[in-house]
Amino acid sequence: MSSDRSDSSPYVIVIGLEVHVQLKTVSKLFCGCSTQFGAEPNTQTCPVCLGLPGSLPVMNRRAFELALRTAVALNCRIPEFTKWDRKNYFYPDLPKGYQISQYDLPMSHSGWLEIADPKGEFPARRIRILRAHLEEDAGKSLHDEAAGKADSRIDLNRTGTPLLEIVSEPDLRSPREARAYLNELKLLLEYLEVSDCNMQEGSLRVDANINLHIPGSAGPTATPIVEVKNMNSFRAVERALAYEAERQFAVWRETGRTIADVPKSTRGWDDQRQATFAQRQKEESSDYRYFPDPDLVPVTVSSAVVEAARAALGELPAATRQRLESTYRLSAYDADVIVNQGRRFIAYFEQVAGRCGDGKLACNWVTQEVLRILNSDGGTIDRFPIGADGLGELIQGVRGGQVPSSRSKELFGVMFSEGLTVTEALRKLGIQSLAADELEQLCRQLLAENPRIVADVKSGKAQAAGALVGLAKKKNANVNPADVRETCARLIAEMP
């Protein structure tokens, strides 16, 4: 596919992402209304977010704190002085006729987010963050304005919800990188507990700017920039960008038009058709007439406040990955799988590893057995029926030989489905570990009953001993195959 950077690709893809994140505040950015999703339309409004005459905005400090935490985690610079600006435009879901946003002096800028592909499909890179600024959300319109027939409906519950707009530099070079960036950003935001990052509820929204740089004898040619919208999942972002890259290349080959010939345009992503489509262009280029909002006072952020925010961050995903690799001797891939599940899952893993004393084994269990169930059930680790101590005990039992490894998955299954402890599960399945003399007695009996196998082994056919394991299991389901093998080998060797 031409969508990934490779030496054979006839072009370089240039992508920048604008991500709008709804901050997890109880109330809106400039009034006391609830930000809860899903309420009856127009029930979470007040004179301020309705923009009624005479109303005035007052900044929600909590929203600024969450924005600051995020900006610091994105390695952004935090200016001492930031202000609010009005972005003026008319739309029915914007009741004041302007959006309160930040224009020339955003609360943060010049940061970066490192992305890496654990499978090594692209090298680890720092994607530069141009800026991250706070703004209020608009309401929601449900309408058919273009057709001019149906009535439009407007829900202003969302109006005034705090958004952090995080704008990357055009540093991403493939749709896969774009997705990796979004995954890493979402993980970070969840780590920081600043947003629910729920794309279905609109608490995380992505717009992408994309064009191609096509090498040529007279230097590279750039295709016109397209902003892609309406992408409702990270997978959709990856697909839309892959589609758009191919489309732009095809259009360029057909028309030869470059960035110099065509202004930036907007296209929507149609998930059904798996294609982008041209969106109606505005009649004139929009001039938002930004100017400082005189209703709000500028915000000053002291270096002490920034340092306090930095100190309170705790360990971030990139550092956690490294720590898991070194502390538990995990591969980069395994550490990535665990860290990508989020803070609670990491804590679960670490508790399992601590309990059982083997990080690698703990990793195998949580990334294979536990994740398999979570992924198929769509559940979360908080509500997983097997606690970290229970799983740790199970693994520890396997390591210590108290639990037959051959039946460990079976035990895990019962612990999960019936919510049992390891001891209860062992009892339920009737598993008891054999004492050493019991096992020896069993093996002696077995050898006595199967002289041909003994003869075969003696004559050098070591694999013939395998049959003994199966026979031993029939006598007692609790036998450990390795123990059977070992004991039988010793007894045969002792035979005259």
Partner 1 sequence: MAGIAQLDAIQLRQMLRSGQISSLELIDALLEQYAAWEPRVGAFLNFRPDQARDQARELDRRRAAGADPGLLAGLPVSIKDILCTVDYPTTCGSRILRDYRSPFDATVVARIRRAGGIVFGKTNLDEFAMGSSTENSALAVTRNPWNVAHVPGGSSGGAAASVSAGICPLAIGTDTGGSIRQPAAFCGISGLKPTYGRVSRFGLVAFASSLDQAGPMARSVQELALLLQTIAGHDPRDATSAPNDVPNYSASVDEPLPGLRIGVVRDHFDAGLDPEVDAAVRDAIRVFQSLGAKVHEIELPNSRRAIATYYVIAPCEASSNLARYDGVHYGHRSSDRSRDDESPHESTRESTRESPLARLYCRSRAAGLGNEVKRRIMLGTYALSSGYYEAYYLQAMRVRRLIRDELLAAFQTVDLIVGPTTPAPAYRLGDKSNDPLSMYLEDLYTVSANLAGMPALSIPCGLSRGGLPIGLQMQAAPFAEELLLRAGAMYQGATDWHPRRPAA
Q: Give residues in contact with partner 1 (CB under 8 A).
A: 47, 50-59, 86, 88, 90, 92, 95-98, 145-146, 148, 152, 154, 283, 287, 289-291, 294-297
CB of 49 to partner 1, least distance (A): 12
CB of 267 to partner 1, least distance (A): 20
Residue ranges of the alpha helices (H) in 109-196?
175-192
CB of 38 to partner 1, least distance (A): 23
Q: Strand pairing of 291-292 and 81-82? A: unpaired
- 429 CB-near residues (< 8 Å, 6+ apart): 407, 410, 411, 414
CB of 329 to partner 1, least distance (A): 54
Q: With respect to partner 1, which residue has the nearer C-beta, 297 or 312?
A: 297
Q: With respect to partner 1, which residue has the nearer C-beta, 289 or 372?
A: 289
CB of 100 to partner 1, least distance (A): 11
Distance CA 161, CA 27 (A): 8
Q: With respect to partner 1, which residue has the nearer C-beta, 154 or 188?
A: 154
Distance CA 49, CA 155 (A): 12
Q: With respect to partner 1, which residue has the nearer C-beta, 39 or 297?
A: 297
DSSP code for 226: E
CB of 85 to partner 1, least distance (A): 10
CB of 88 to partner 1, least distance (A): 5
Q: With respect to partner 1, which residue has the nearer C-beta, 58 or 308?
A: 58
DSSP string, 376-403: HHT--GGG-SS-HHHHHHHHHHHHHTSS
Distance CA 346, CA 325 (A): 12
Q: Is 271 helix (H, G, I), strand (E, B) or coil?
A: coil
41: its two tokens? 């339309």
Q: With respect to partner 1, which residue has the nearer C-beta, 282 or 452?
A: 282
Please tell me the number of Cα atoms within 13 Å of 82 on its side-chain side: 22
Distance CA 46, CA 119 (A): 50
End-to-end C-alpha distance for the chain, whole angstroms: 68
CB of 167 to partner 1, least distance (A): 20
Q: With respect to partner 1, which residue has the nearer C-beta, 94 or 386?
A: 94
Q: Is 429 helix (H, G, I), strand (E, B) or coil?
A: coil
Q: With respect to partner 1, which residue has the nearer C-beta, 87 or 205?
A: 87
Ramachandran class of 289: left when φ > 0, alpha when ψ lies in -120 to 50, beta otherwise = left
